Amino acid sequence: MAQFLFEADLHGLLKLDTPIPNAPPARWQRKAKESGPGPSPVGVSPMKPANRSHSSSKTPSKTPGKSGSKIQNTPTKAGGDRYIPNRSTMQMEMANFLLTKENDPAEESPTKKEQQKAWAVNLNGFDVEEAKILRLSGKPQNAPEGYQNNLKVLYSQKTTPGSSRKNSRYIPSMPDRILDAPEIRNDYYLNLVDWSSQNFLAVALDNSVYLWNHTSGEIIQLLQMEHPDVYVSSVSWIKEGNYLAVGTSSAEVQLWDIQQQKRLRNMTSHCARVGTLSWNSYILSSGARTGHIHHHDVRVAEHHVATLAGHTQEVCGLKWSLDGRYLASGGNDNLVNVWPCTQGGGGDFAPVQTFTQHQGAVKAVAWCPWQMNVLATGGGTSDRQIRIWNVCSGACLSTVDAHSQVCSILWSTNYKEFISGHGFAQNQLVIWKYPTMTKVAELQGHTARILNLTMSPDGTTVASAAADETLRLWRCFEMDPIKKKEKEKASSAKSSIIHQSIR
Amino acid sequence: AAQQLGREHQGITLRGSAELVAEFFSYGINSILYQRGIYPSETFTRVQKYGLTLLVTTDPELANYLNNVTEQMKEWLYKCIVQRLVVVISSIDSSEVLERWQFDIECDRTAKDDSGPREKSQKAIQDEIRSVIRQITATVTFLPLLESACAFDLLIYTDKDLEVPEKWEESGPQFISNSEEVRLRSFTTTIHKVNTMVAYKKDSVP
């Protein structure tokens, strides 16, 4: 029984309601001893009479507090309490042990053992007990000394100290404006903001789409989904800025007229949510969670004119090139596909390029406006790389580690740079110089990961929507007025030459 | 190369299946070592496999070690006597097991008696393997950060009566106390089925 005592001791130490052994006897105990064994019955412990004596010898001089403390002084191990006065017939140690310790499996009956073994064999396909575990000795060196597991460094990036890089221009570190975006869905795979050529910023907040007029500052609620469970998963302006395409979680692609604030079309062809949209004049391309991309000709009744099947998981990035020759798509399957605008010989669309180098979902997809056939892509959390490709040759021109999930990339012609939006840990926007791929600036301010980026029609301002329910407008590509004048002069000079030659 | 072509047309044989699975383990283990940062990322190079870009180590010692394991796995898979492969990741300082990648292998022993190859296209198997490898890559989004420098160990569960070859020694299972488990996709060649699962130490601070 010795081991039970030890166990019981251990458990007793951890419990508050068991008696304290070896403690100096309480006042009433001493009193009881003094008064002798008079009122004590058959019970063994001195505690019992204590309880009795408490009830019988309560004197008026005793304060309530004192009597209270008497009750709290619990009996010794085999003793009773006010509920069960006599516990001498109970085996406290044994009971304690059995209640608190798990049963020793060796006590199981042989049939139970057989049953368990049969279950194990069924579940594991083999008898795990019977398996031998082997280890190959002579393991190679661990990573060299001084190697720090860089994942920790990666995910807890500290802000880089002010670099000595000379910026050729001033980029304000604070946003121009901060807009409230309540209820914006914190879903990496959606594309919830777009800026039109008419200077309207469309923002999808859960099941509604709001338009913010940048010139006047006015806000209009354009639409709200009829069904409460349906949310808007993507928005995209047509080039002219008078129609807005809206993709929903109910697999619909809707077309809205802004001037009349009316829905023109509701195109259904997908069977899962439409997370991304891209226009190529009158063709609207939509990417869905199934991995399919549909081309819709919005002018005709039979809108669904083509299906591109190149992804096995959600399509989150979709962009037509500026000349309309190629469509780039990025998916959750880590692939980037480049599609031609016309079908191949067999009538099927097949990608002219497929890039598998990204190790994470590719949502950031952007075409270079001043160099033909150059595409920038950015990978998600598992990848964190920004890659520049030549889609004709299929070569990866450069790669840079952004150290953070890339959600969006936008090119800027004003300074031949591009800007990328990031998530954990700094939630920053980074401006990179092209083609040197050096960091020009980092814009911080968001308190949660950035979800989308979009650019103003004049190319000077970038709007970032983040999970912190704000939209920040950064005036980072402001043209120097002198330089601007030069540019305008140059473009006007060109046109005048043309006029001369025509004459 | 000729052997591979032959495999494509003829269906899956036991030897072919053993090779496919052993190859998967080689690339899978490389991916785990890269993704979890056990070895510096500069020591890995990109190769094309299964229609994906995978990272494999360039360190000659490590490559040699993994090669030994792969070759041995091939043999044991062919004999259908291996049941599980485990990659144990433990902290170098505290020797505590932090992560445990478990690949359960179910072998159809009737394939040993059959002489005819099984019907399953190479492409279908590749697609399944691709899904599993992509999932392994994606686990970095939820697995807890490995704060300290870590080392890895490879454990193989075999039949009890197997003669332990040279260079191999017996070992314990190296379980994680208080673990959280996530089951990944499985793939099958119709002769061998591989189930993948990762167990990691539950954070003590909620």
pLDDT digits (tens, 9 = 90+) for A369-422: 999 999 999 999 999 999 999 999 999 999 999 999 999 999 998 889 999 999
3-state secondary structure of A409: strand
Residue B86 inside a domain? The answer is yes
Measured between beta carbons, which residues in chain B are less than 8 angstroms from residue A405? none
Q: Which of A129, A316, A359 should we substitute to test contact with B (largest number of B Cβ atoms within 10 Å)?
A: A359
CB spacing of B170 vs A135 below 8 angstroms: yes
**CB nearest to A150's CB, from B37, B69, B157:** B37
Measured between beta carbons, which residues in chain B are less than 8 angstroms from residue A124? 83, 104
Residue B185 inside a domain? The answer is yes
- pLDDT at position B115 is 62
- pLDDT at position A494 is 56
Does any CB of chain A come closer than 8 Å to the CB of residue B163? no
Structure tokens at B166: 């040279």
CB spacing of B162 vs A132 below 8 angstroms: yes
**CB nearest to A333's CB, from B84, B134, B170:** B134
Q: Report whether B65 contacts A139 (CB < 8 A).
A: yes
**pLDDT surpassing 50 at residue B206:** no
**pLDDT surpassing 70 at residue B152:** yes
Q: Report whether A272 contacts A188 (CB < 8 A).
A: no
Structure tokens at A368: 């270079």
Structure tokens at A53: 């004596």
Would you place residue A35 in the very low, low, confident or very high pLDDT band (cuts 50, 70, 90)? Answer: low
Mean pLDDT of chain A: 80
Q: Chain A closest CA to B142's CA: distance in Å? A: 10
Q: Which domain holds residue B151?
A: 11-201
Chain A residues 259-318 within an 8 A CB cutoff of chain B: none
Q: Report whether A339 contacts A327 (CB < 8 A).
A: yes
CATH number of the domain to which B125 belongs = 3.30.900.10
Per mean pLDDT, which range of A270-274, A327-331, A490-494 is the poorest? A490-494
**pLDDT surpassing 50 at residue A487:** yes
Q: What is the mean pLDDT of residues B81-96?
A: 88
Does any CB of chain A come closer than 8 Å to the CB of residue B155? yes
CB spacing of A359 vs B159 below 8 angstroms: no
Phi, psi of A40, deg, nearest 5: -75, 135
End-to-end CA distance of chain A: 117
How many whole angstroms separate alpha carbon A494 and alpha carbon A490?
6
CA nearest to B11, candidates B130, B124, B133, B132: B124
Would you place residue A101 in the very low, low, confident or very high pLDDT band (cuts 50, 70, 90)? Answer: low
One CATH from 1.10.260.40, 3.30.56.10, 3.30.530.20, 2.130.10.10 for A188-309: 2.130.10.10
Would you place residue A355 in the very low, low, confident or very high pLDDT band (cuts 50, 70, 90)? Answer: very high
More confident residue, A29 or B33: B33
More confident residue, B184 or A65: B184
- pLDDT at position A2 is 66
Chain B residues 16-35 within an 8 A CB cutoff of chain A: 35
Q: Chain B closest CA to A133's CA: distance in Å? A: 4
Q: Report whether B129 contacts B50 (CB < 8 A).
A: yes
Does any CB of chain B come closer than 8 Å to the CB of residue A342? no
How many whole angstroms separate alpha carbon B104 and alpha carbon A124?
8
- pLDDT at position B2 is 46
Q: What is the mean pLDDT of residues A26-39?
A: 63
Residue B37 inside a domain? The answer is yes
More confident residue, A421 or A154: A421
- pLDDT at position B205 is 47
Per mean pLDDT, which range of A12-21, A101-110, A349-358, B17-26 is the poorest? A101-110
Would you place residue A121 in the very low, low, confident or very high pLDDT band (cuts 50, 70, 90)? Answer: low
Measured between beta carbons, which residues in chain A are less than 8 angstroms from residue B162? 132
- pLDDT at position A256 is 96
- ipTM of the complex, rounded to two decimals: 0.73
Beta bridge partners of A367: A375
Measured between beta carbons, which residues in chain A are less than 8 angstroms from residue B149? 142-143, 147-149
CB spacing of B168 vs A136 below 8 angstroms: yes
Q: Tell me the longest C-alpha to C-alpha distance in chain A.
A: 135
Q: Provide the domain count of chain B.
A: 1
Per mean pLDDT, which range of A4-13, A306-315, B96-105 is the poorest? A4-13
Q: Report whether A364 contacts A406 (CB < 8 A).
A: yes
- pLDDT at position A57 is 39
CA dihedral sign of residues A19, A25, A28, A33: positive
- pLDDT at position B176 is 86
- pLDDT at position A16 is 67
- pLDDT at position B9 is 53
CB spacing of B169 vs A356 below 8 angstroms: no
HEC per residue, A290-313: CCEEEEEECCCCCCEEEEEECCCC
- pLDDT at position B92 is 85
Q: Which of A123, A150, A151 should we substitute to test contact with B (largest number of B Cβ atoms within 10 Å)?
A: A151
Cβ atoms within 10 Å, residue A214 = 19
Q: Which is it for strands B44-49 and A470-474: parallel, antiparallel or unpaired? A: unpaired
Query: Cα A233 to the chain's mean position, in Å?
Result: 16
Could you tell me what percent of chain A has a pLDDT over 70? 69
Across the A/B interface, how many CB contacts are shorter than 8 Å? Answer: 123
Q: What is the mean pLDDT of residues B50-59?
A: 90
- pLDDT at position A83 is 77
Would you place residue A147 in the very low, low, confident or very high pLDDT band (cuts 50, 70, 90)? Answer: low
3-state secondary structure of B71: helix
Residue B2 inside a domain? The answer is no
Write the burial class of residue A144 (CB in 10 Å: 0-12 exposed, 13-18 middle, 19+ buried). Answer: exposed
**pLDDT surpassing 90 at residue B4:** no
Does any CB of chain B come closer than 8 Å to the CB of residue A146? no
Sequence-distant (6+) residues with CB within 8 A of A309 are A291, A292, A293
Q: What is the mean pLDDT of residues A181-186?
A: 94
A217-246 tens-digit pLDDT: 999 999 999 998 999 999 999 999 999 999
A36-82 tens-digit pLDDT: 544 434 434 444 333 333 433 344 444 444 433 344 444 444 556 77
Does any CB of chain A come closer than 8 Å to the CB of residue B46? yes
- pLDDT at position A145 is 52
Q: Which residue of A has its CA nearest to B154?
A: A135
Residue B206 inside a domain? The answer is no
Does any CB of chain A come closer than 8 Å to the CB of residue B150? yes
CA neighbours within 13 Å on the CB side: how many for A4?
10
Place of tokens 């053993």: B18
**CB nearest to A135's CB, from B134, B149, B171:** B171
Measured between beta carbons, which residues in chain B are less than 8 angstroms from residue A358? 53
**pLDDT surpassing 80 at residue B80:** yes
Provide the 8-state DSSP code for B17: H
B118-135 tens-digit pLDDT: 788 888 888 899 999 998
Would you place residue A199 in the very low, low, confident or very high pLDDT band (cuts 50, 70, 90)? Answer: very high
**pLDDT surpassing 80 at residue A20:** no
Provide the 8-state DSSP code for A439: E
Beta bridge partners of B46: B55
How many whole angstroms separate alpha carbon A349 and alpha carbon A308?
6
**CB nearest to B140's CB, from A128, A148, A381:** A381
How many whole angstroms separate alpha carbon B127 and alpha carbon B3?
20
